[in-house]
Amino acid sequence: MSGTKILVELFYDVVSPYSWIGFEVLCRYRNVWNIDLKLRPAFLGGVMHGSGNKPPGLVPNKFLYMTKDLQRLASYCKVPIQAPSNPFEAMFEKGSLSAMRFVTAVELHSPELTEQVSRELWRRIWSKNQDITTPESLKEAGEKAGLPADQLQRLVGLAVSQEVKEKLKLMTQEALNHKAFGFPLIVAHIDGRPEIFFGSDRFELLAHLLGEKWLGPIPQETGSKL
């Protein structure tokens, strides 16, 4: 591996299970491909509203298909997704605004833990059927991610600050500037221009444009068999 790393941005929201899959796969490839992966926590609700998109789960046939599709994709990528007992309530009634403000606070003040905090929040909603909206829930996720108690308390407080709110709005608007209509959104900056990929099933094409090899969703396992 040589040369300047290619900047790859991942815009995501922990309310999105497909974002979790995209997140885990890109994290696995961070040291396999010649990329500089940057996590961009943003608010999916703002992207849906700003783009005029409607949640696919509101279309009955599409919801049924996505339920099965998500199970297959999670199994293939080995991401422990288990739908919450009431997906509609978790995704659309409770939502993820407070969770993404918390992740944004972590990204601003403890960026080395953004990855693990995001993962713990995904585990709560998409693996353990747990809440991600209350300060207590955010603290539990932060504790599991390794945040010290004093730092965690400060970050939960900062999650409602104007600084964090504005940063989340900015990241959401950046996604919209890239013509986002949903998450995950992958932006690879190749030869001075952004190449946009939506969803968690475009890694073969991403690899092609990066000039890299797609080794499956778990490249370490593939490499050990070569």
One digit per residue, the tens of pLDDT, for the chain of length 226 reads 457 999 999 999 999 999 999 999 999 999 999 999 999 999 999 999 999 998 877 788 988 898 899 999 999 999 999 999 998 889 888 999 999 999 999 999 999 999 999 999 999 999 999 999 999 999 999 999 999 999 999 999 999 999 999 999 999 999 999 999 999 999 999 999 999 999 999 999 999 999 999 999 999 876 544 3
Tallying the residues shown for the chain, one arrives at 226
Question: What whole-number distance in Å separates Cα of residue 196 and Cα of residue 167?
Answer: 22
pLDDT for position 39: 98
Question: What whole-number distance in Å separates Cα of residue 195 and Cα of residue 160?
Answer: 33
pLDDT for position 2: 57
- In the three-class reduction of DSSP (H, G, I as helix; E, B as strand; rest coil), residue 123 is classed as helix
**Whole-Å CA distances, 49 to 88, 96, 140, 157, 181:** 17, 14, 30, 27, 9
pLDDT for position 222: 60
pTM of the model: 0.94
pLDDT for position 184: 98
Pairing verdict, β 35-41 and 6-12: parallel
| Residue 91 exposed, middle or buried by CB count within 10 Å (0-12, 13-18, 19+) | buried
pLDDT for position 132: 97
Pair of tokens at residue 74: 């999670």
Pairing verdict, β 6-12 and 193-198: unpaired
Domains of the chain as residue ranges with CATH = 6-225 (3.40.30.10)
Question: What whole-number distance in Å separates Cα of residue 159 and Cα of residue 161?
Answer: 6
